[in-house]
Amino acid sequence: MEHRFQLAPYAGKASRLVCPNCGRREFVPYIDTETGEIIDETCGRCNRESNCGYHLTPSQYFQQHPEARPQGDDWRQAPDWLKKQQPYRKPVIPQPKPAGPICELPREIVEKTIRMEPMSNFVKFLDTILDPLISEGVVFLYNLGVTKAGETIFYQKDRKGRYRGGKVIQYDPVTGHRVKDSAYPVYWVHQNFMRQGYIPQDWKMTQCLFGEHLLDEYPDRTVCLVEAEKTAVICDGFMPEYIWLATGGKTQLGERLDVLRDREVIAFPDIDAFDQWSEYFNGRSDLNVSVSTLLEDNATEEDREAQIDIADLLIRWYRADNPTVPYVPPVPSQGGTERPATEFTNPVVAEIARYFSPEHLPEVAALIEDFDLVPVSIQHIEPQEDENSDR
């Protein structure tokens, strides 16, 4: 049965009104299909389902305004011209276009940006919740690049090792939140590569899952799927026994998930995407995906308002379990670049670390911890001048 009152089809910006709830021009009004007129500027649905959710149906509107209700018993029925059957036409099934070659970013240019110096603001934040050695490990595990402005480049590397794209985001080094400022918009790194002549102007991006390259590297690990790239990196720092992949957005599902066939997957949607992801994966019988209720079971009303994700929850739990761990702001090192001050809980490492320059401290700690070294003695040796040396 067709209804007489339907949501107005999109016909340009003018067909969208200002939402009476959130004030954004994302409001779709209901129209009377007999007259083409809208019922009222308050009767309709806001497209911002997660952030607003306003929806006033015609039935609800007429209950509030009975004087506006159409006369007769058939006001709910669609007019005849809507119900008229159209002649049968054999559906045209579009033939799939042959897949073209995957465009990839130049490896030599990409890998120059995957480094620890200069340190991105995101990595500075990581060092406040993770051991600096773990922070450095996830940088190279996920091929995180950095710009001169301290922005993070989240490269998408596929199973064949091709860099398909890179999302550039600026973060606050203290809070770890994205900087929502017009001076630091989110953009794709290939836009810069085009301007600099590294790739041709007809270069086309074909996205894949962030972290996809880890699937073949760890074939027996359970895959955990999240929305944001930042979330995947943080969760890997806390729980490296899983493979953490990111879709890049709440609605960015579809074909890029096909690589997860034959893998055990746990999906961790953001708190505002639980219903949407549950419905989607219920329809993907080709995938073995279970949707976690961790956030649903633990989120407060404030959490729902803030639209938290699993990384926010893990950070909260970590800080609750480590109330004495202070935030150590970045301090200048001898080289003039910023590096967070490092505290070593191992007393042997702490003693030896006094004899090394700051840039070597993580490497020394790693050697001692990994090989269980036991120092016999520690001596400070003054350098000797050599007459035959040019130094």
CA 71 remoteness from chain centre: 51
* Dist CA 210 CA 156 (whole Å): 5
Q: What is the pLDDT of residue 365?
A: 56
Structural element, H or E, at residue 156: strand 152-157
242 residue type, one letter: Y
Q: What is the pLDDT of residue 96?
A: 53
* Residues whose CB is less than 8 angstroms from the CB of residue 228 and which lie 6 or more positions away in sequence, other chains included: 246, 248, 270, 309, 311
Q: What is the pLDDT of residue 328?
A: 41
Q: What is the pLDDT of residue 334?
A: 34
Sheet harboring 223-226: ordered strands across? Answer: 243-246, 223-226, 264-267, 288-291
The beta strand positions in 193-351, using DSSP E, are 223-226, 243-246, 264-267, 288-291, 330-332, 338-340
Per-residue pLDDT of the chain in tens (391 residues, 90 and over written 9): 456 788 888 777 777 888 888 888 888 898 887 777 888 889 998 887 767 788 888 888 888 888 777 765 455 554 443 344 444 444 454 555 556 689 999 999 999 999 999 999 999 999 999 999 999 999 999 999 999 999 999 999 999 999 999 999 999 999 999 998 888 899 999 999 999 999 999 999 999 999 999 999 999 999 999 999 999 999 999 999 999 999 999 889 989 999 999 999 999 999 999 999 999 999 988 999 999 998 888 888 898 888 899 999 899 888 887 665 544 443 333 333 333 344 444 454 455 454 444 444 555 556 655 566 655 555 545 555 554 444 4
195 residue type, one letter: R
